[in-house]
Amino acid sequence: MIVILLGPPGAGKGTQAAALVKRYGIPHVSTGDIFRANLAEKTPLGLEAKGYMEKGALVPDDLVVRLIGDRLSQSDAAKGALLDGFPRTTAQAQALEAFLDKESKKVAACLLLEVDDQELLKRLTGRRVCRSCGSGWHVAFSPPPSDLVCPKCRGEIYQRTDDSQETIKNRLKVYHEQTSPLIDWYKAKGILKAVNGLGEPSQIEAAIAKALG
């Protein structure tokens, strides 16, 4: 089962992904997480992605498509995957479809988390995340521990470099211009499930469960 989590940066895709992977027993595949891990390790892939990520721009399609093809070919993804942050362009969606066609697989659902830009700006500027497990906090709404040590995994809690005001504005612009056309793309295929991303994570989780059936 391939499920896509679609939505602007800060919509809560990572938070909801954690609940969904538990529920469906499929791996969470976040292209952003994969790029950040590669960047931390200074791999050629990470170094190639670095400049784009720092500007809030998209990494070129061919690089992302190759990466996702490799990831979906791993054994843990044989029964499916939860795709978070991919596809982000129509070209990526077409490449995913071609890849899945070859394996007689299909995207089961595209879950859209809807949140307005003003709320996204508030969420992203105050966001703090664990470098190791990806857990999230917000300086105003859910402050991290003062020692900035993750209580779940002892990892370091930090602010992503692309969560600065300027970069966030660019990421939102990129989302509206390059990624939001995917809403109509998946709607036309009859598999788009839109969920309001405002509210408590548990409420949103329940709305997602209902939408996915």
**What are residue 40's DSSP bridge partners?**
none
Query: Which one-letter DSSP state was computed for residue 145?
Result: P
Provide the mask over 151-180, with x wherever binding to ligand AMP is found by CB under 6 A and - wherever it is not. -----------x--------x---------
Place of tokens 């969470």: 28
Among 50, 105, 160, 169, which one carries the catalytic annotation? Answer: 160
Active site residue 36: no
Provide the mask over 101-140, with x wherever binding to ligand AMP is found by CB under 6 A and - wherever it is not. ----------------------------------------
Among 13, 36, 123, 193, which one carries the catalytic annotation? Answer: 13
Active site residue 23: no
The one among 88, 123, 127, 128 contacting ligand AMP by CB under 6 A: 88
Residue nearest to ligand AMP as judged by C-beta position? 32
Sort 56 into a burial class: Cβ within 10 Å, 0-12 / 13-18 / 19+.
Answer: buried
Whether 168 contacts 125, CB under 8 Å: yes
Among 123, 128, 171, 193, which one carries the catalytic annotation? Answer: 171
Distance CA(88)–CA(90), nearest Å, equals: 7
Query: Which one-letter DSSP state was computed for residue 11?
Result: S
Choose among 63, 30, 19, 6: nearest CA to 160.
30
Provide the mask over 41-70, with x wherever binding to ligand AMP is found by CB under 6 A and - wherever it is not. -----------xx--xxxx----x------
Active site residue 88: yes
Structure tokens at 54: 């720092």
Active site residue 123: no
Place of tokens 């990494």: 59
Distance CA(165)–CA(182), nearest Å, equals: 25
Structure tokens at 102: 């070859």
Shortest reach from residue 92's CB to ligand AMP, in Å: 6
Alpha helices in 103-180 (DSSP H): 117-125, 165-174
The one among 86, 137, 175, 186 contacting ligand AMP by CB under 6 A: 86
Considering the rule CB under 6 A, would residue 85 count as an interface residue with ligand AMP? yes
Catalytic residue numbers? Answer: 13, 88, 127, 160, 171
Interface residues with ligand AMP (CB under 6 A) are: 9, 31-32, 35, 52-53, 56-59, 64, 85-86, 88, 92, 162, 171
